[in-house]
Amino acid sequence: MARATCTILICSAGRRVGLLQAFRQASERLSLDLRIVACDLDPDNSAACALADVALKVPRCDDPGYVDAVLAAARRFEVSLVVPTIDPELLPLAHASAEFEKIGARVHISDISVIETARDKARTSQVLAAAGVPVPRTFGQDQIAADPTLLDWPVFAKPSGGSASRGLEVFNRPEDVPAQFDEPMIFQDCLNGPEYTINMFVDKAGVLRCVVPHLRMRIRAGEVEKGRTVRRDDLRGIAEGIAKALPGLRGVACFQVIDDPDRGPKVIEINARFGGGYPLADHAGAPFAQWLLEEVNDLPQSANDDWRDDVLMLRYDSAVYQG
């Protein structure tokens, strides 16, 4: 009996070899013939592009021609699933999701309102706090300048639209805060304690099917280098609160929590996409990639919450060779 075929497109593929491998392994379990198209600004220097079946060069995701280039690739290769991997491409692709649907391609993306909330850390804090999800106290620069007593010092500051641990600062005193920043900043309680990433999967009907927390034991370049899965009912409860606060959330998302010994666990960030630490959840028995392939190929749904606790991931450097 011939195996069904499926083509996916991984955007901004870069170094995301683990994600590519997760989809390949999922396709074998599902007896699918999977073709992976990977696109990147510089595909010749992308490890994931080197390991894909097809590699394409596309403009930067903030270029006006980016979406058209991705759409053209999806049409050319009869793509069933488009997988964004970085925050800046989420909104452009979300606004064009109907165009992809017309050619039979599902963009793995949440509602625009969810992305707009997740991309704005001030808005994230407001929306989650209003829904009863624990977040650190959060204020804008003008608020802190007008009343520095709103927070206890030192305070933590970060760009409201930042990602990948860019622009993070700690200020010990109000007089240490610059009068101006290059971009809008938010100021929060300076939290201490262990940090967790919680990977979550919401099916196409909007049902939260799986929540996998892992302890971020060591971080490198903003991504977990060493981590361990941990079952905690309180972190699952926070995920349930986020799913209710963001009813348009679909597919894979992740959020980060700092478990402060005095204040308790607080959500500090949400990413409405695959996170860099997803391969740990996949290996622990939560194959989100497989569940997405099941959805786009109309296969029986196997999403569940029966993953393995205390699974350790120790990342190391590897290489792809060409020529």
pLDDT in tens, the chain (323 residues): 567 899 999 999 999 999 999 999 999 999 999 999 999 999 999 999 999 999 999 999 999 999 999 999 999 999 999 999 999 999 999 999 999 999 999 999 999 999 999 999 999 999 999 999 999 999 998 999 999 999 999 999 988 876 555 668 899 989 888 888 888 889 999 999 999 999 999 999 999 999 999 999 998 877 899 999 999 999 999 999 999 999 999 999 999 999 999 999 999 999 999 999 999 999 999 999 999 999 999 999 999 999 999 999 999 999 999 88
Residue that the structure tokens 């198209």 belong to: 37
Q: What is the pLDDT of residue 149?
A: 93
Q: How far apart are CA 133 and CA 118, in angstroms?
A: 14
DSSP conformational letter for 154? S
Alpha helices in the chain (DSSP H): 17-29, 47-51, 66-76, 90-95, 97-102, 112-119, 121-130, 141-146, 233-245, 278-283, 288-296
Q: According to the model, what pLDDT value does residue 302 have? A: 98
Q: Three-class SS of residue 19? A: helix
| Sheet with 251-260, side-by-side order of all strands | 264-271, 251-260, 195-202, 208-220, 223-229, 312-314
pLDDT attached to residue 160: 80
122, 186 in Cβ contact below 8 A? yes
* Torsional sign, CA 212, 120, 128, 91: negative
Q: Is 235 left (phi over 0), alpha (psi -120 to 50) or beta?
A: alpha
3-state helix, strand, coil in the chain (%, to 5): 35, 30, 40
Distance CA 59, CA 287 (A): 30
Handedness of CA 170, 175, 178, 180 (dihedral sign): positive
Amino acid at 85: T
DSSP 3-state of 162: coil
Angstrom distance (rounded) from CA 42 to CA 46 = 7
